Structure 1
Amino acid sequence: MVTRLSEDAWWIELGGVNAYLVDDGGTLTLVDAGMPWHGGRVLDAVVDAGFALADLDRVLVTHYDLDHVGGIARLDGLDVTIYAGRGDAPLVAGRETPPFSVPKGAFQRLVGPLVTPPEHDVVPLADGDEVGSFTVRETPGHTPGHVAYVSEALGIAVLGDLVRESDGDLAPSPWIISADTSEVRRSIRELSEEATAFEVAAVGHGVPFERGGRDRLVDLAGRL
């Protein structure tokens, strides 16, 4: 299912997890790709939004987890560039395996065989890097290399699993699926202070917010 969030952004609802499509000044950008069995639905969503598959230029990955990178391999054969935070990029590329020293590392290793690394190189990103109109913000906690992507020009922040929608509001990534909950809280506070104004808060799970995104993030930070 594809829902238009703004003039430039679409929500791809994949049944429990979200991906997003953004027309970044003519550069078509996919953010995250769902589970391995969601790859075909993601490609269909590109077409349903009015584009051709050949229009897809880049993929931004918020973090390495099965439900966010599983569908990326279905993009093999397309001329795209894949980006991920420097902490998780080696995992997305299949060059490294999750460490047991991270609480969720054992589970990530268990489901690792379900993830097919992409044929494309994965470009690592650091805090403050820019990809098109998006500024990269390192937001560790859910995973050590988690990042958010904030575009002031487009008025959107793709927040991945740093936060989720719960009962019509933002909530932090829960402890049971987070690598470090104290880091989650710190990242939320820092992002609420650093991020420029944005309306659309695109979350990895739940219903994204079309209005008042940054205000909701600031409110959440004040409640932590």
Structure 2
Amino acid sequence: MTAEIADGVWRLDCGGVNAYLVFDDVPTLVDAGKPWDEDAIRDGLDDAGVAPADVGRVLLTHYDLDHVGTLAALAPELDVPAHAYGFDATLLRGDRKPPVRNHKGLIQRLGGFVTDFPDLDVVGVRDGETVGSFAAYHTPGHTPGHVAFVSEELGVALLGDLVSESDGELKESGWVISYDTGEVAASVRSLAARAPAFDVACVGHGDPLASGGDEELRRLAATL
């Protein structure tokens, strides 16, 4: 189900995972669902009044099957840069493969059998770099190149899978789906300390928080 969770922020519910459309300086697609979610993404964009060709950029919080899955199918119409961080950007380009000696890397390696590489310009972002109104914050742990994007102007944080939502609270990424839970905890604390104030917390799994997002992130950080 597609819903506008805040002014100019649309949740594209792909069934178990969220993508988002944010009206920044250009319409910005945030993550892209599973390989079989093309219809859900297209329908969600249409509900928000946007065609794939109208999207001005893609922001990717990380490389995982359920966050980059539809990019290859949408790429002919998107024809815009996809911004990702470091290690995860190299995975999306096909320049390297996930490590099989890490349990999460092995999961990603298996997911690669059903995930096509998109014909898009994959642009690497750096910690602190600004894309539109969003500043990038490297938040490793779930994946080595996981990145959160926070817009002070819009009051919106794109948190990917650094955290998830359950019963109105944020929970840190767990061992099964993370490269390193120690890094996850450190990243939650770092982001809570570094990021500007924001109301809206857009998470990859669970329901986004429409208000009080920064307070909830700080609450979680204090427990880790």
Q: Is the 8 A contact 1:84 1:124 kept in 2?
A: yes
Number of the residue aligned with 1:85: 85
Deviations 1:78-116 (A, max 9, x none): 221111011200111222111224331112111211110
Partner residue, 2:61:
62
Specify the alignment match of 2:163 in structure 1: 163
- 1:23-52, Cα deviation, whole Å (9 max, x unpaired): 102x01000011000022112211111123
TM-score by length of 1: 0.97
CA contact (8 A) 1:40 1:74 kept: no
1:183 aligns with 2:183: yes
What secondary structure, in the 3-state scheme, does the structure 2 residue paired with 1:196 have?
A: coil
Equivalent in the alignment of 1:150: 150
1:8 aligned partner: 8
* 1:24 equivalenced with 2:24 (yes/no): yes
Partner of residue 110, structure 2? 110
Distance 1:102 1:121 in 2: 28
- Give the TM-score taking structure 2 as reference length: 0.97
1:81 and 1:43 mapped to 2: Cα distance? 18
SS in 2 for 1:5: strand
CA positional deviation for 1:69: 0.8
Amino acid at match of 1:193: A
User: What letter matches 1:147 in structure 2?
Assistant: V
Identify the range of structure 1 (210-219 vs 109-118) with the bigger mean alpha-carbon deviation.
Answer: 109-118
Preserved CA contact (<8 Å) 1:159 1:201? yes
Which residue is equivalent to 1:75?
A: 74
Residues paired across the two proteins, number: 223
Find the aligned partners of 2:27 and 2:16 in 1 and give their Cα distance: 24
| Alpha-carbon distance in 2 for matches of 1:145, 1:59 | 16
Name the residue aligned to 2:47.
48
- One-letter amino acid of the counterpart of residue 178, structure 1: S
SS in 2 for 1:88: helix
| Unpaired runs of at least 5, structure 1 | none
